[in-house]
């Protein structure tokens, strides 16, 4: 086994819950990406992230994303408008985050902050100007390379 790797038994003995969260890069006609600032009262408040949220038990990641976009931003999209791009896998202190990132260029409605978050449309090269949670940071480079 390569150095730095471990077997499944080691992972299970120090197990922390795996949390599946889904995120999206909504890209407008000008090539800007929508990001949201986590509001006060939430963990990592003040940091910027891609819209999305937790996948509920029995829910597919794309269905969760469609639901979250409606709940958080008041926009509608379809599964056929979501293109999986990459994912983040990040170990926090008390859980392990697994987060697929989708790209979406087609939706209905104007994104509006429905949960107290701030929104900003950002050019891909400006994403690094916004402080983000550790799991989101590697997604920025992948997104910039894609666009």
Cβ atoms of 136 and 21 closer than 8 Å: no
pTM of the shown model: 0.86
CA-to-CA distance for 84 and 99, rounded, in angstroms? 11
Provide the mean pLDDT of the chain: 89
Q: What is the DSSP string of the chain?
A: --TT---HHHHHHT---EEEEEEEEEB-TTS-EEEEEPPTTSTTTT-EE-SEEEPPTT--HHHHHHHHHHHHH--B--GGGEEEEEEEEEE-SS-EEEEEEEEE---BS----SSS-EEEEE-GGGGGGS---TTTHHHHHHHHHH-
* pLDDT tens column, 44-61: 889 999 999 999 999 999
* Of 129 and 8, more confident: 129
Q: What is residue 61's predicted lDDT score, i.e. its pLDDT? A: 96
Which domains, from first to last, does the chain contain? 16-146 (3.90.79.10)
Question: Average pLDDT, stretch 25-32?
Answer: 96
Q: Tell me: pLDDT of 96 over 60.
A: yes
What is the C-alpha R_g of the chain? 16
- Mean local confidence (pLDDT), 98-118: 95
């Amino acid at each position: 086994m390569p150095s730095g790797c471990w077997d499944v038994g080691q992972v299970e003995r120090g197990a922390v819950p795996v949390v599946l969260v889904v995120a999206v890069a909504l890209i407008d006609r000008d090539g800007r990406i929508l990001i949201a600032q986590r509001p006060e009262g939430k963990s990592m408040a003040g940091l910027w992230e891609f819209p999305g949220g937790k996948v509920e038990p029995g829910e597919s990641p794309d269905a969760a994303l469609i639901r979250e976009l409606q709940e958080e931003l008041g926009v509608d999209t379809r599964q056929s408008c979501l293109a999986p791009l990459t994912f983040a896998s990040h170990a926090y202190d008390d859980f392990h985050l697994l987060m697929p990132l989708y790209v979406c260029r087609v939706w209905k409605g104007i994104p509006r902050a429905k949960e107290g978050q701030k929104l900003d449309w950002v050019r891909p090269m400006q994403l690094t100007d916004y402080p983000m949670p550790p799991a989101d940071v590697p997604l920025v480079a992948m997104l910039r390379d894609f666009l």
